[in-house]
Amino acid sequence: MDHIDWNRLKTGEVNLGTSIMAVQFDGGVVIGADSRTTTGSYIANRVTDKLTHVHDRIYCCRSGSAADTQAVADVVHYQLQMYSQTAGKAPSVHTAAAAFQKLCYDNKDALSAGIIVAGWDEAHGPSVYNIPLGGGLFRQPWAIGGSGSTYVYGYCDATYQEGWGRDETVNFVKNTLALAMSRDGSSGGVIRMCVITEDKVERLFVPGNELPRFWEGHEILGAAEPRKKVASDVVPMVEA
């Protein structure tokens, strides 16, 4: 009577197709994401905010099923509130990442969620933790995730350098996401970024018409070039 095919339900779920990214720099972290949420080929939300607050200086970037990542982020947000009430101070980014990891691993069979946790804490300064599908925990200086990330691993490997400041890191994130969004069908829209430092969290927004542009294939695809003027001594043919 109710033999529900959960796998079928899963594939039809609202999906954060996504390109997400987080990079650590000297004073903090920069996190960024595209803004497209799809249900199959329909774009359910073209201005999604995939950068979710879980604590004052700890944010997570969500990729995978929208419902699953929202549920997990809600539980962690709740847990970190309880933690900070008891401990009397903000939790460390490692604590938040471990909370995400426990949930993702224990619910491994039911979830489809790839999360990047990034933030600043007093004990360790800035840090980025990657929690891919399956629920492993990996600390990295920079992490990319989502379906669009596969297209930009090469660009990131070639471009990233240690010792960058805030502006260079913001540019790195912006360019990487723009490249991912231009190649991945499930990523697009606008770029949302957060710069998390000890003092504050600053939100940055890059609208779709101001995205950095790279090679767009004008030579092959023939953009609208102005028509060449015909020489004046050639008379155009007319029907009699």
Partner 1 sequence: MDTRRITSRLSTLLDIYYNIMQSSLRIVPASSGKSATIQDTANSLGLHDTLQYGPRSLAAEIQSEGSLKARLENWDATQDNLKLTLERNIFGMHAPMRRLMERKIVGTTAHSLSAPQTNLHLDILMGRDETIEASDVFLGREGGPAFDVHAEIQKKVRT
14 binds partner 1 (CB under 8 A): no
42 binds partner 1 (CB under 8 A): no
User: Which one, 6 or 215, has the nearer CB to partner 1?
Assistant: 6
Question: Any catalytic annotation for residue 18?
Answer: yes
88 binds partner 1 (CB under 8 A): no
DSSP structure string for 124-155: TEEEEEEE-TT---EEESEEEESGGGGGSHHH
Cβ contact 193:203 at 8 Å: yes
How many CB atoms are located within 10 Å of the residue 27 CB? 16
Phi, psi for residue 194 in degrees, rounded to 5: -130, 135
3 binds partner 1 (CB under 8 A): yes
User: Which one, 43 or 98, has the nearer CB to partner 1?
Assistant: 98
- How much of the chain is helix, strand and coil, in % rounded to 5? 35, 30, 40
With the C-alpha atoms ordered 114, 189, 179, 194, is the resulting torsion angle positive or negative? negative
| Single residue of 14, 75, 133, 204 touching partner 1 by CB under 8 A | 75
How many CB atoms are located within 10 Å of the residue 33 CB? 32
9 binds partner 1 (CB under 8 A): no
Tokens of 191: 């770029």
Q: Smallest distance, Å, CB 4 to partner 1?
A: 6
133 binds partner 1 (CB under 8 A): no
181 binds partner 1 (CB under 8 A): no
| Single residue of 78, 138, 153, 214 touching partner 1 by CB under 8 A | 78
| Single residue of 45, 70, 107, 150 touching partner 1 by CB under 8 A | 107
Q: Which residues are catalytic?
A: 18
Sites of contact with partner 1 (CB under 8 A): 1-4, 6, 71-72, 75, 78-79, 82-83, 86, 102-103, 106-107, 109-111
